[in-house]
Amino acid sequence: MTATIQRAESAPEVSDRQRKPLIAVPLMAFALTAPLYIALALRNHAHLKTCGFDLGIFMQEVKAYAHLQQPIAPLLGAGASTSVTTSHR
């Protein structure tokens, strides 16, 4: 345990001038990639290429289970069952 304490004490201190580049690099990467990601997401959404219907499928399954019926999700297509026993045959 004393070796750990000695190692921590011998570690050089990082000045504020040295910390700024360490923080600036991730911020610059975020500033460059965030607008690109947002533009691509909006373009996909405008072209109806987004795949965010998982919540809808889950809601339809829960509703079917609540009514004691087989979990069929119309979002997946006509008669597509989401039941484990029927989808893994």
The per-residue pLDDT for range 7-64, each reduced to its tens digit, is: 556 666 767 666 667 788 899 999 999 999 999 989 988 888 776 667 777 888 888 8
Q: Indicate the domain borders of the chain.
A: 16-50, 52-89
What gap in Å lies between CA 53 and CA 8, rounded to an integer?
Answer: 51
Task: Of 75, 67, 72, give the one whose Cα is nearest residue 83.
Answer: 72
The residue ranking higher by pLDDT, 25 or 73, is 25
Asked whether 75 and 57 are in contact (CB, 8 A), the reply is yes
For the full predicted model, state whether its pTM sits above 0.75.
no
Indicate the SS3 state at residue 72.
strand
What gap in Å lies between CA 62 and CA 54, rounded to an integer?
Answer: 12
